[in-house]
């Protein structure tokens, strides 16, 4: 008859699980506390959502003028024969991500009219 302690692999598995639980005890405590105190967790995520919204609005005010200067600089360099596609695509991709990241964040955290 096999028991957990007579099998070496079982002992090693037990030790690995024990070490994992010990190493991640604070993260596990946070996870369980979020389930126990749902109203407080809602307040934390609501404040995080408001902070993200503020950050995205501030980033747009900084990034759009900087990206405009960057795109104009790359295009002017193109007129002199040294157009760099890598820089141009990097600027456009950065503007695209900043523009649509706030929209994705708003959609992901939208109130769907449920109970509340």
Distance CA 91, CA 27 (A): 37
Same domain, 90 and 69: yes
Examine residue 116 and state whether it is found in any structural domain, yes or no. no
Over range 21-32, report the average pLDDT: 82
Is the confidence at residue 52, as pLDDT, over 50?
yes
Whole-number pLDDT of residue 27: 83
Same domain, 98 and 51: yes
Examine residue 99 and state whether it is found in any structural domain, yes or no. yes
Distance CA 83, CA 88 (A): 8
Per-residue pLDDT tens digits for 73-116: 988 988 888 888 888 898 889 888 888 877 777 777 676 555 54
Same domain, 95 and 69: yes
Q: Is the pTM higher than 0.75?
A: no
Residue with tokens 């002992």: 11
Same domain, 51 and 88: yes
Q: What is the dihedral of CA 47, 95, 61, 112, to 10 degrees?
A: -30
């Amino acid at each position: 008859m096999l028991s957990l302690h007579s099998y070496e692999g079982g002992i090693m598995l037990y030790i690995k699980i024990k070490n994992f639980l010990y190493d991640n005890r604070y993260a596990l405590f946070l996870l369980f506390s979020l389930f126990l105190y749902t109203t407080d967790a809602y307040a934390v995520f609501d404040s995080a959502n408001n902070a993200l919204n503020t950050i995205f609005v501030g980033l747009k005010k900084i990034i759009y003028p900087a990206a405009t200067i960057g795109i104009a600089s790359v295009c002017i360099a193109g007129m002199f024969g040294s157009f760099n596609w890598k820089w141009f695509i990097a600027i456009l991709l950065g503007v695209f991500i900043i523009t649509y990241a706030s929209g994705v964040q708003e959609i992901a955290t939208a109130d769907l009219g449920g109970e509340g």
